[in-house]
Amino acid sequence: MENTPLSHDGVIIKLVASDEALQNAVEALQQHNVLALDLEFDQNRFTYGFNLCLIQITDGCGTCYVIDPFTIHDLQPFFHLLENPSITKIIHHSNNDIMLLSKLGCQIKGVLDTDVAAKLLNYERSSLATVLKEDFDIEIDKSQQSSNWNKRPLTAEQLRYAAIDVIYLHRIKDHLLAGLQEKGRLSWLEEENHLLEQITYAEAENPHMKLKEAFRLNLYQQFILKKLYEFRDKMARSFNKPAAYVIGNEALVELAKNTDIDLHEWLHHTKGIHGGLKKTGSEKQLKDAIAEAKREAAVQDISHDYPENRWQRPLRTSETEQRKEALTHVQKRIMEKYGEFTSRLIINQNLIMEYSQTGRLRCSKKYAADIVSETAEELGITLSGQV
């Protein structure tokens, strides 16, 4: 479908499906100092892992490139474009896009997040569809929202849907920046964008402990669960399926609690077990994994005791309550001055709880720290330990 003559609202949509076409697109795009970007990805929904499926980028001058990473051998020329800080990249709700790019070895620079801009203007709902409807009376078709972007060939409807996610971003950016300039909040957005650029991909530490009810297991069961989690991940990779589709999370925790079962019966009578795992070879691999986990637990003399302080209630003293009350007063005043949804970027419950417990006020954003400090002073409240 490369060079398919598609368009939407006066914008030409070009499918880029070869290294040569990508190089030509990059050469054209780098002539512009503001680009709009979006990614379609699959994050353990249809396939294993966190995978790039499609890239949409437009120059704002009538051309939108939809890049198919499945048919391109080297995305590095495009990544160099994204890493150029002199070119602004408009992205709406950029967190996951930045994280995926980081996973792929690209640390994007020049980010301008229009979702954050909308929140700084106190938008109650800041989705792309909502902003387009409320501010521009443009209604977009979201029928392809649940598409499996791994499948090929891409349909014309999918390409058009993907392009729509970026072709209005230049217009949205101009509109939101005008509002922020009027309110004197452009520097806030700059600081938020800079923080977004610092996002890097990292594998979660002890991901097995994030499964529901895992914290209720004893130390031995948690050790077994970790080994089962690693086995499931290996099998999910081999099947190219999300790990939770191989063995459901609840079933995995239950197996860790009771490994002395008839495994054949368990595999064939437990809900959420992938068919591939029920095959004789896979069943043997699971038996071996359980046996090896038990052997390692014995060698390491893993206790059957429960962890101490599995869940510790926050300390409550007159001092912690006074600090909590003081910062809560500040939060309420900030909400009154800047709006409920903007205030969430300035101060939140985690900040209040940490301050109440430690007496240290950790504001990572300068503009937010200034607002908290100024508001406290306005209310005659003394805050200690500002960091």
In this predicted structure, the answer to whether residue 31 has a pLDDT above a threshold of 60 is yes
CATH number, span 6-197:
3.30.420.10
Angle at 115 between CA 114 and CA 119, to 5 degrees: 110
For 368, residues 6+ apart whose C-beta sits below 8 A from its C-beta are 345, 346, 347
Q: Which of 371, 377, 324, 382 is nearest to 345 (CA)?
A: 371
Inter-residue contact 108 to 89 (CB < 8 Å):
yes
pLDDT band at 4; cut points 50, 70, 90:
low
Q: What is the pLDDT of residue 197?
A: 98
User: How many of the other CB atoms lie within 10 Å of CB of 98?
Assistant: 24
Look up residue 73 and give its amino acid: H
Residue 387 has a pLDDT of 53
User: What pLDDT, on the 0 to 100 scale, is given for residue 140?
Assistant: 87
Average pLDDT (337-365) is: 95
According to DSSP, residue 300 is labeled: T
**Each residue of 277-294: pLDDT tens digit?**
999 999 999 999 999 999
* Predicted local distance difference test score (pLDDT) of residue 171: 98
Q: Residue 311: its pLDDT value, please?
A: 62
Please tell us whether the domain made up of 207-299 is placed in CATH 3.20.20.70. Answer: no
pLDDT digits (tens, 9 = 90+) for 198-233: 999 999 999 999 999 999 999 999 999 999 999 999
Mean confidence (pLDDT) of the chain = 95
pLDDT, tens only, 300-331 = 999 999 998 656 678 889 999 999 999 999 99
Which of the pair, 387 or 76, is modelled with greater confidence? 76
Angle at 283 between CA 282 and CA 288, to 5 degrees: 95
What's 273's DSSP letter? B
Statement: residue 386 has pLDDT above 90: no
| 260-269 per-position pLDDT tens digit | 999 999 999 9
Residue with tokens 């197996």: 255
Report the SS3 class of residue 51. Answer: strand
Domain ranges in the chain are 6-197, 207-299, 318-379
Predicted confidence at residue 308, as pLDDT, reads 82
pTM of the model: 0.92
Please write the tens of the pLDDT for every residue from 113-167: 999 999 999 999 999 999 999 999 999 887 777 789 999 999 999 999 999 999 9
Helix segments in the chain, DSSP class H:
19-29, 76-82, 95-103, 114-120, 128-136, 156-167, 169-183, 186-197, 219-239, 243-246, 249-257, 263-269, 280-299, 318-338, 340-346, 349-358, 366-379
